[in-house]
A and B are shown apart, each in its own frame.
Chain A
């Protein structure tokens, strides 16, 4: 490595108007993202605290009506604690908070935020994952052609330098410039965020360094791509190729993924899913009706809980069809994710989700956590009900509706004992994978981009060796 050539390349690029404009844009965007993320963080923190306070009040209150509301409503909440990761939130497709309908044993997930898709939200993912790659492509697509036009490539080669050496100097100078335009503004942005929110997290600092490090092979991919394009003879063709590559990875691939996945893994219409739900419910109702007759069909002997059990069973069967809908939707989403992962931008997004416990990666663990909590709560309810034959916590929703009828008849329908573990209904600790598993997951996602880098290096070197520099 020769310092003189490296410094020449760096100085040339520092003087390049494109570079200066990109640098200023990135500084401005990083600062704006810090301000925007700080506001989001504060809003999320307030929301989290409100949810927690409301839950604690209900628990402390101990009034049966409050508990009934908790058990009847969709109030098992799985909430991620707000973290500085809002600086790096991905597309706002997946929620930070899910709530679960407590239709024991079948959870029905209501994912907050899924309906409000915000594309190009101003944050680090947008800057590091989408903009900087494009900037590197724009900066490097003249790497060779400019030197060729200026005749300096010819001149350099009569100084006895191997062509490869010239190429590698170009590449390293671009990568150093990448770090120059990324690291200082990101650091300032991070400190601004910490100052505005009054937080400090060393863990996040490490994650910040890691994501910057991981962004390097992605930037490198675009630099090599740009360098390869810069060997094209026609300048206009080079510009067209740059624009096409940008559109291909940012728009064409994700949009095509959507279209292809919807064709290959289609969803039924909501009318069809509702019909499935209705059918399942009625079939189960028929079974219970055939077995228990008026105990199910009328207000008969409500106190034995048969009617509540019957309706609970019907709900449970019907809820299974909801799970089919969720599974179908999940399968389609996964397919979209897998196809769009062709784009390096999407791969980078997926990696950032793993590092910062965000997005789709987190959603999976939120759902797992919810399922685990529901199982735990269900078992505890069964256990509590087994100690008191009039306790019907497991079927509380339906039993409660019968309660008023029975009260009017002067009967005690079931135990007034509260559920003994209300604290389990609010979950904020979501365990994701251990560091080693995460590292392997990240490595697997990095592998394609590393291979692509390697391929581009080989192609660029071979092409450059054969390049007519007259």
Chain B
């Protein structure tokens, strides 16, 4: 379960990127964050992952607090970024093996149960995410963006963390890979994983999410459950918020 309370981020230049964000995602649910560029989606994910420190608020994953135990919290998270690059002198398999290997390392002393022992057949995982066999032992430098994205997905899967943070995960995937990845996310959800995903893709958000949130100016301005969205036009709602923002900015 993910719980975010009053999470804020103000940069040194005074820009308020995140303004008292509060949200809760229950175990086995997909929460999709929609929003224009600069709305604060990536900032929220960056803070949860520990890439940048918050200026206020806190995050809990399965009762572990970011402010109290950031290292342990990160062990509960698998992360997939929009642009997966990885070690270009390694093959796809070597990249996956490295991250699978380090997921066995206890992050902090006395927390040996932090990361589960590796239990995956890595070749099978790579096939499952749609990587063709002939590329498995090729250097990543020869991969297309979509193929690297698949390795990123495999890395996130193999970490076997209870919480998945996906920043524009469908970026670069071809329709077939997108479809397969979507199916994979459903499976993970059914396995009890909690998923927070940021995206610009309104249609996919509506299709996949148990809850959709729209962010604007660092705030979570709207949340709708799947049931609520069944009778509403998410595209229209989203555009309304964006336009409203434009009007507000013009008035200022």
Question: Taking beta carbons and an 8 Å cutoff, which residues of A are in contact with B?
Answer: 2, 4-5, 8, 11-12, 15-16, 149-152, 154-162, 468-470
Contacts and interface: CB of A to CB of B under 8 A. Distances in A.
Nearest to B76: A160
A161 B98 CA distance: 14
B135 interface: no
Contact of A155 (B46, B72, B155): B155
Contact of B78 (A5, A8, A11, A158): A158
Contacts of A151: 81, 83-86
A85 B234 CA distance: 80
A254 to B, nearest CB: 37
Contact of B52 (A156, A162, A468): A468
B23 interface: no
B114 A160 contact: yes
Given A150-B86, A151-B85, A4 B103 contact: no
B215 interface: no
B46 A150 contact: no
Interface in B82-125: 83-90, 98-99, 101-103, 105, 107-108, 114-115
Nearest to B82: A151
Contacts of B107: 159-161
Interface string B179-199: 000000000000000000000
Most buried by A among B42, B46, B85, B159: B85
B49 A157 contact: yes
Q: Nearest 10 CB-CB pairs, A to B?
A: A160-B107, A15-B89, A150-B85, A160-B75, A160-B71, A160-B74, A158-B79, A4-B101, A151-B85, A158-B74
A150 B49 contact: no
A448 to B, nearest CB: 35
Contact of B74 (A2, A4, A157): A157
Given A12-B90, A151-B86, A470-B46, A159 B105 contact: yes
Interface residues of B, number: 34
A331 B58 CA distance: 66
Given A154-B51, A468-B52, A159 B85 contact: no
B77 interface: yes
Contacts, number: 78
Nearest to B108: A160
B38 interface: no
Given A470-B51, A470-B52, A159 B86 contact: no
Given A12-B90, A152-B87, 18 more contacts: A12-B89, A15-B89, A150-B85, A150-B87, A151-B84, A154-B49, A154-B51, A155-B99, A157-B49, A157-B50, A157-B74, A159-B105, A160-B71, A160-B72, A160-B74, A161-B71, A469-B51, A470-B52
Contacts of B83: 151
B85 A152 contact: yes
B197 to A, nearest CB: 16
B86 A152 contact: yes
Contacts of A158: 49-50, 74, 77-79
Nearest to A13: B89
30 contacts: A4-B102, A4-B105, A5-B102, A8-B98, A11-B90, A15-B89, A16-B89, A149-B85, A150-B85, A150-B87, A150-B88, A152-B85, A152-B86, A155-B79, A155-B81, A155-B86, A155-B99, A155-B155, A158-B49, A158-B74, A158-B77, A159-B75, A160-B74, A160-B107, A160-B114, A161-B102, A468-B52, A470-B42, A470-B46, A470-B51
Contacts of B103: 159
Contacts of A162: 71
B21 to A, nearest CB: 17
Contacts of A8: 87, 98
Interface in B139-163: 155, 159
A16 to B, nearest CB: 7
A11 B105 CA distance: 19
B95 to A, nearest CB: 9
A329 B36 CA distance: 73
A2 B107 CA distance: 11
Contacts of B102: 2, 4-5, 156, 159, 161
Contacts of A149: 85
A4 B75 contact: no
A206 B74 CA distance: 49
A152 B72 CA distance: 19
A2 B101 CA distance: 11
B104 to A, nearest CB: 8
A468 B98 CA distance: 24
A365 B45 CA distance: 68
A42 B89 CA distance: 46
A340 B42 CA distance: 50
A8 B114 CA distance: 22
Contacts of A150: 85-88
Contacts of B115: 159-160
Contacts of A160: 71-72, 74-75, 107-108, 114-115
A159 B87 contact: no
A161 B77 CA distance: 13
A317 B49 CA distance: 82
A149 B105 CA distance: 24
Nearest to B88: A150
B98 A4 contact: yes
Contacts of B88: 150
Contacts of A12: 87, 89-90
A391 to B, nearest CB: 82
Contacts of B85: 149-152
